[in-house]
Structure 1
Amino acid sequence: SVAGAGLPGAKPPPLAPGAPGAAPAPGTPPGARPNAQARASSGTGFVVGTDLVMTNQHVIEGCARLFVRTSDNRTLSVPQAPVADARRDLALLRVPGNPGPVLAFRSNAVRRGESVVTYGFPLAGLLSSGPTLTTGEVSALAGLGDNQTQFQISAPVQQGNSGGPLLDRQGNVVGVVVSKLNAQRIAARTGDIPQNVNFAVKGTEAVDFLRRNGVQPVMRESPGGERSAAEVGEQVHPSTVFIRCER
């Protein structure tokens, strides 16, 4: 669209021998190891069930091979084709080898103006190789063009954030980061540069997608009050993974 732009995968850093994230999980056959010479992109995912990772459909679209790097620097292969929902821009990956603890989805409604946290791997190869945390608010309860499956958020996101969790300040998942407004196109049309206009698939849509595919997500109510963003980041860190797509 003219106004919106997805978050295409960032180009990941080279996988030098012995570098963090380059080593395969114990017992991984040679054919299931990343190819440092392959044309690749990257994104973010998070654990939603035993050996199950959620991300965006556009992160895994057209990938010949997929790999997940866990928080403890293990690289796990994705042996089966992901289950995807193009309308919602969601995908479910089966990742044998325990990619991390399961994150809970929030069960009570999200309100406009609530504080949120994003956690993921933006601009891999340019910024920190580790995860990045940003904060903001739920700006609107609908996305671009009044899309009722998405939230508008003010938390900054970049290429590579796609598929990462959007969390409330209790550490429960309220959405899946999906896209940002194309500021250049808007500026060309209006003469004004939009600030901090980004989008996430609503957690209720992600929960419905999981249930339709036979997965019962962990649900948790978020009481009033806020934890610090640092505490939320520490909680979600073991459950957030780096996704490498080789074409």
Structure 2
Amino acid sequence: MRLSVSPLLLALAALALPALAAPPRNNAPVVASAAELAVYVPPSMLTSNTYLPRINMWVEPGKALGDALDEVGRRYFPALHVVPAGKDERYGLLLDLAPKWSTEGGKLTLTVAYDVYGADGKKLNSGAAEQSTALKYGNFGASAQVVTRQAVQQVMAQVQGALQPDPVKFPATGATAKIDLTALVDRSKPLRTGTAFFVNKDGQLLTAAHVARNCVAMEAHQDGATFPVKARAASDLLDVAVLDSGKPRAAALALRQGQAIELGESITSVGYPLKGVLGDSPNVTRGNVSASRGPRGSMGMFQFSAPIQPGNSGGPIVSDNGELLGVAVSTLNAESMAKLGLIPQNVNFALDGRYVAMFLQREKVPFETLRAQGAGSMQTANQAALSNTVQLNCYQ
């Protein structure tokens, strides 16, 4: 549930042969511009990598793109600043890159669409560059390096040719720390999706930390409405995060008073699994608390049997009295277990409500508790969970 692999990496993993890299084409003269250039690249594109055990090799297209900007881009714009970055820099032009990898017809192809903005936010130019190399024999890393250098060179040459930039025409009046990165995000396809739920009347939500990690922008969807949310605090150790929506509510999910769970008690899980395969309506499954502990070596988890899928991460686990018992965070990897001759069935894990309460108290996030009254019912659980659960999309 925590692994996200890019289409490029999946395609490379399916290929039987690695690639032979060709030398980069660099026939056009390079004229360095003194204009200050900020370059936005989706952070996930700069960090993408995976290990291919089939050929005992790491594939790092993200590193190749970062190297190309550093080594080729700075030949055209020596004052080039990749954003987001820790240091605030001045800029006169902002280049928004949208890279897309593909492997078809025995070729590795990188297409880079781009927009150029002035420091005042006005769009000045748009274009695209595309470069390919044959996948034959050699190694994938060299092929990615070649293609990215060629594509970055083409983009930089096009920008220079279209705008003839210099510091007088485009003075460095912008500050990279003040760039609204959410305005640059491509929302056509999320980086990852998950589930979140309202935990208080102030409109704050809880989700799994691995769903909200490193998102440039996040959106929540509920009952046909879409609204932005922002990360407020997270614990990677517990795998939980709190988000701000700015949408006050009349009610929210309340934690069980005392946060104790009972082995065997009935629970409801609500989430938005398998986006793109299933519909956008919430998915409700039923099960039981199976064990009071999680996987060996884990912290603060309990096991439950309600079926979940990728996309359920961050969803609430609710009792028949409508109390929040925990947050869905992981499941056993069926493929890995099958290699050991084991076929797990509905072995899933949630962060225990006791640890949820401690996290919220530490972060000074308000929450309510509920004292169980009577045996409860499936209808009560469904109403409490469904009315407070949202689909969460993480972009770039």
TM-score, structure 2 as length reference: 0.52
1:64 aligns with one of 208, 211, 216: 216
1:3 corresponding residue in structure 2: none
Question: Where does residue 176 of structure 1 map in the other structure?
Answer: 327
- Give the aligned partner of residue 103 of structure 1: 253
1:144 partner SS: coil
Which residue of the partner structure matches residue 277 of structure 2?
Answer: 126
**Cross-structure match for 2:296:** 145
Where do 4+ consecutive residues of structure 1 move more than 2 Å? 6-11, 31-40, 97-101
> Bigger CA drift: 166-175 or 33-42?
33-42
- Cα distance between partner residues in 1 of 2:363 and 2:254: 17
Per the alignment, residue 232 of structure 1 pairs with 381
Alignment CA distance shift 1:9-1:178 (3 Å): farther
Match of 1:202 among 338, 352, 368: 352
Give 3-state SS (helix, strand or coil) of 2:354's partner: helix
CA offsets per residue over residues 206-228 of structure 1, 9 Å max, x none? 11111111123100122341312
* Residues 200-245 of structure 1, C-alpha deviations (whole Å, 9 max, x = no match): 00011111111111123100122341312x4421232221111110
Contact 2:254 2:368 (C-alpha < 8 Å) held by counterparts: yes
Judged with a 3 Å threshold, the aligned counterparts in structure 2 of structure 1 residues 194 and 67 are, in CA distance, closer, same or farther, namely same
1:55 alignment counterpart: 207
| CA deviation vs aligned residue, 1:153-211 (integer Å, no higher than 9, x gap) | 1111100000000001111100000000011111212x121111000000111111111
Aligned to 1:82, what secondary structure does the other structure show?
A: strand
Conserved? CA contact 1:41–1:246, under 8 Å: yes
Q: Which has the larger radius of gyration?
A: 2
Q: How do residues 21-100 of structure 1 correspond to structure 2 at under 5 angstroms?
A: 35-49=186-200, 50-70=202-222, 72-78=223-229, 80-98=230-248
1:104-133 Cα distance to aligned partner (Å, 9 max, x none): 111142111111110110111211210010
Equivalents in 2 of 1:32, 1:107: separation in Å? 42
SS at match of 1:147: coil
Letter of the structure 2 residue corresponding to residue 236 of structure 1: A
Asked if the contact 2:196–2:207 (Cα under 8 Å) also holds between the matched residues in 1, the reply is yes
AA paired with 2:348? N
Count of residue pairs brought into register by the alignment: 220
Structure 1: 5+ residue stretches without partners: 1-5, 12-30
Structure 2: gaps of 5 or more residues? 7-181
Which structure is higher in helix share?
A: 2
| 1:114 corresponds to | 265
CA–CA separation in structure 1 for the residues paired with 2:330 and 2:350: 7
Shift of 1:135: 0.6
CA distance in 2 between counterparts of 1:106 and 1:196 reads: 24
1:69 is paired with a residue whose SS is strand
1:34-89 CA-partner distances (Å, limit 9, x unpaired): 7433552210000012120100000011211111112x3221112x4431100000
Report the 3-state secondary structure (helix = DSSP H, G, I; strand = E; otherwise coil) of the residue aligned with 1:58. helix
Residue 127 and residue 10 in structure 1: after superposition, are their counterparts in 2 closer, same or farther (change >3 A)?
farther
Q: Secondary structure at the match of 1:184?
A: helix
SS at match of 1:42: strand
Counting aligned pairs with the same residue, the percent is 34
Deviation at 1:146? Answer: 5.4
CA distance in 2, matches of 1:184, 1:84: 29
